[in-house]
């Protein structure tokens, strides 16, 4: 499994794919809006269903690193930047409103990276939210550089990562980063060297916790010999479960698992598929069903859906209250086969 080669194009491709599949036409259906959901006009706002299967996750929160309790549905701040995850957004004020609204809705885990923009995502987060409210966890990443639009080049050299940490601290207006993640493994640099640099920054008090992104199990094992790891961020959704073994590892070791591109694109699914059926049954969108499925998939799952739309943000957050029946969950889970 060569994760490094995939990540150089997957993040941009995921963003473009999500833009190309509109939320109101995904699989040819049109369903209730987030505003209606939050107004209580559908059954998405529910207490835990007593019929939920014992092997389906029901915990609303997860404690990262033993000291950061977070609501399990976070926010990914990649798409608040400009087109192609490059430069400033066309509507800067809208991006700031989205970040503030996410926190108002109870999101207390925001994921970003110095590569998003580059740098603009971190700057927008600070502009919108500093001084940060108590309990808000900002997770950022370093190790992918952006020479130009559409270009994602790994750089895991120790000197670069140290500079990246300092740059993120300055942009985020922080003295210490809550969770700093190695964005990808650089095939030209041993992971031990990259993590060794982050450990030095942690020892210097600039990083609280360290996580990984776009890695396989062997790389996680190697990393944990250098420094404690509290989370892994890999691509994972209903359709793409190549990181199933990594998720299992995280469950066993109680590491947070942040699935990026958590909603997927719905390609290759027939109109009357279990996602569509569950969405109609609950009067919600298929995107909300996809997020609910992830949340019930594992107690360590921390989805971080991103958006550049306030309405879609509210839909995503409302999905945390949606409880699929065991039959619905199993039918959706079987789509991987």
d(CA 335, CA 337): 5
Tell me the two tokens of residue 181. Answer: 């993640």
Task: In whole angstroms, give the CA distance from residue 106 to residue 101.
Answer: 9
Distance CA 102, CA 77 (A): 11
d(CA 258, CA 261): 10
Tokens read off for 4: 């490094």
Sheet of 137-142: strands edge to edge? 75-76, 109-111, 137-142, 177-182, 207-213, 231-235, 256-260
Give 73-109 as a DSSP string: --EETTTTSSGGGBSS-S-HHHHHHHHHHHHHTT--E
CB contact at 8 A, 300 and 256: yes
Residue 68: which H helix or E strand, with range? Answer: strand 68-71
Is 116 marked active-site?
yes
**Integer CA distances (angstroms), 185 to 61, 101, 209, 255, in order:** 29, 33, 18, 19
Catalytic sites, residue numbers: 116
């Amino acid at each position: 499994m060569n994760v490094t080669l995939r990540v150089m194009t997957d993040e941009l491709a995921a963003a473009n794919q999500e833009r190309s599949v509109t939320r109101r036409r995904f699989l040819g259906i049109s369903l209730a809006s987030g505003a209606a959901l939050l107004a209580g006009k559908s059954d998405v706002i529910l207490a835990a269903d007593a019929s939920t299967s014992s092997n389906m996750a029901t915990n609303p929160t997860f404690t990262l690193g033993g000291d950061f309790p977070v609501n399990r549905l976070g926010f990914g701040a990649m798409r608040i930047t400009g087109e192609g995850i490059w430069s400033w957004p066309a509507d800067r004020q809208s991006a700031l409103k989205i970040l503030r609204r996410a926190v108002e809705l109870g999101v207390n885990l925001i994921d970003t990276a110095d590569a998003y923009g580059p740098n603009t995502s971190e700057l927008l987060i600070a502009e919108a939210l500093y001084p940060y409210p108590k309990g808000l966890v900002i997770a950022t990443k370093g190790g992918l550089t952006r020479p130009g639009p559409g270009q994602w080049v790994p750089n895991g050299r120790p000197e670069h990562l140290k500079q990246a940490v300092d740059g993120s601290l300055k942009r985020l207006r922080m003295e210490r980063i809550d969770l700093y993640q190695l964005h990808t493994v650089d095939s030209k640099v041993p992971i031990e060297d990259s993590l060794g640099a982050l450990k030095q920054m942690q020892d210097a008090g600039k990083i609280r916790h360290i996580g990984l992104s776009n890695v396989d199990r062997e790389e996680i094992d190697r990393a944990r010999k250098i420094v404690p790891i509290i989370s892994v961020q890999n691509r994972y959704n209903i359709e793409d479960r190549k990181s199933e073994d990594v998720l299992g590892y995280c469950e066993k070791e109680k590491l947070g698992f942040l699935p990026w591109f958590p909603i997927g694109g719905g390609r290759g699914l027939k109109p009357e598929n279990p996602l569509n059926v569950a969405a109609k049954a609950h009067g919600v969108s298929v995107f909300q069903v996809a997020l609910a499925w992830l949340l019930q998939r594992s107690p360590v799952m921390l989805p971080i859906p991103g958006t550049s739309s306030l309405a879609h943000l509210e839909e995503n957050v409302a999905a945390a209250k949606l409880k699929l029946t065991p039959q619905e969950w199993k039918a959706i889970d079987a789509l991987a086969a």
